[in-house]
Structure 1
Amino acid sequence: MSSNKAEVSLLVEEFNLSIDLAKDILSRSIVKKVKKGNFARFSGRIPEHIIFVLKGELAMEAPFHEGVDYHYAVFSSGSIINDGASINNSFKTESILCTTSGVLAILPVDHFYTLLDSSIEFNRVILKSLAKKSQIAGLSFHFRIEKDHKKKVLGMLRAATSFNGKNSIKMSIKNLASMCYISRNAMPKVLKELEQEGHIKVENKVVHLLKE
C-alpha cells in the first residue's frame, strides 16, 4: 500500500490534511483508478472500507425505483464515503456509481478505527465530514415541510448537491417530485419558474444550480 507524491498531494489539497497524515492514510489504503460506470459501493452491504474521493465524481443512486437511471446525491473530490455508516456499523441501502473516471483511496475499516484512536487530526477530518452530512440531512427535512414549492425544490436541490462542486444532479421529474414531496404534475412548472428566475438550468434530465 505504498503512495506516490501525486496521491499525497491530492489528499493534502482535497482534504486539507498534513503531509504526515496523508502519507499515513495512503500507507493503509488501496489507491484505485476507477472508470465511468463502475460501482464503488453496492446497496445493502455493511461497509468494509472508507472511501476518500481523490479525483472524479461519484453519485448515490436511489434504491427504490429499480432500473431508473438517476442520482440524488453527488460526491466529488474531497468527499468521504462510508464514514458515518462505519461509525454506526449500519447497513447502507444505496449504491455508489462512478459517473466519471477518477481515483479513490480505499481505507479498510480496521485501519479507520486505528486512525480514530491514534490521530486527533484524523478525528477532526471525520467530524467535519459528518457535520456536513448532518447539516444536509437537517436541511432536507426542513425543506420537505416547506409549503412554497419553489423554495422547497430549490432547497432540496441545494441539499442534494452539496457534495458536488459542479452543483448538479441527474434526476427525472417523477423522482424529483417524490424527493420533494410535491405532485409530479406540479414539478415542470416549478422547474420552469426557477429556470426563468435564474436559479437553475435544466439539460437532459440534469439540473444545474446557478450561482446567485
Structure 2
Amino acid sequence: MSEQWSAPAHRRVTPPSEAPANLKALGLTVEIIHRAIEKGDIARRRVDRPVYPVSYPGVTMWATTLAALRQELLKIRQGWKIGKTGNYETVYSEERKIAFAVVAGDSLTGVDGKRDPKLKRKKGPKTRDRIERNAKYIQTALSLPELEEEEGVTDDEACETWFIMVRASKDKIYIEVSRPIEAGDGNVDDWSPRHLVEPLQISGAIAPIDPYGDDDDDDGEELVGRQP
C-alpha cells in the first residue's frame, strides 16, 4: 500500500484563472512564459533527429526557453539581469529580490493533484542552497538587505528563487511558477505557493534538461522522455 500524502497546513495552490494577477506581482506575465516555452519547443524540434545525442533536444529545449525568458524580461527594462553564479542559470531582479530558474517537473506539475509535484530529475547542493535560502526568508522573517550582507552572497543568490516548472504530455505542456521551501533527498519536499499557469497546446513536446545537472546523480533515469 502506498503511503498517503498529507497536505501541509500552509499549502496554497492557485488556479490558472488567477495566474495573470499572481504573475504580475512577480514581474511576469502568462504571455511571456508561453512565448519562452514555445520558442524552446521550436528550437527542440530542429534538433530532434537521430544524428544528435539523445539528450540534446531536451538540453536545447531548456536552454532556448531560458534564453527567451531572459530576452523577454531584459526587453521590458525593469531591472532584470542574467544570473550565472556557480553555473546556476537564472534571470533575476535585484529590485524585486526574485530569481527564476527553468526546470522539468513530474506528472503532477501544473495541476492540483493528489500530491504536490517533484522535480523530474534529482538535484544537488546548488539547488538545495537556493531552497534553504527561500526557507530562511520565510522562517526567520529576515529582510533581504540583511541577507545580502552575508559573506560571499552574490546579487542573484540573494534572491528568492522560484521555479518555472514544465511538464510535457502528448498534446500539452503543463506549467506552474512555484517557490520551493523545503529540500528533500535531491528533490523538493514542500512548496509555497504554487501558481498554476494555463497549459500550452503543443503536441510531441519533451521535458527540458539542465545540462549542468547541478552536480546531480541521474540515478539511471532517462534524460529524455515524455510524461504520461
> Shorter-normalised TM-score: what interval?
under 0.3
The structure with higher relative contact order (CA 8 Å, sep 6+) is 2
TM-score, structure 1 as length reference: 0.25
Q: Which has the higher helix share?
A: 1
State which structure, 1 or 2, has the greater radius of gyration over its C-alpha atoms: 1
TM-score, structure 2 as length reference: 0.24
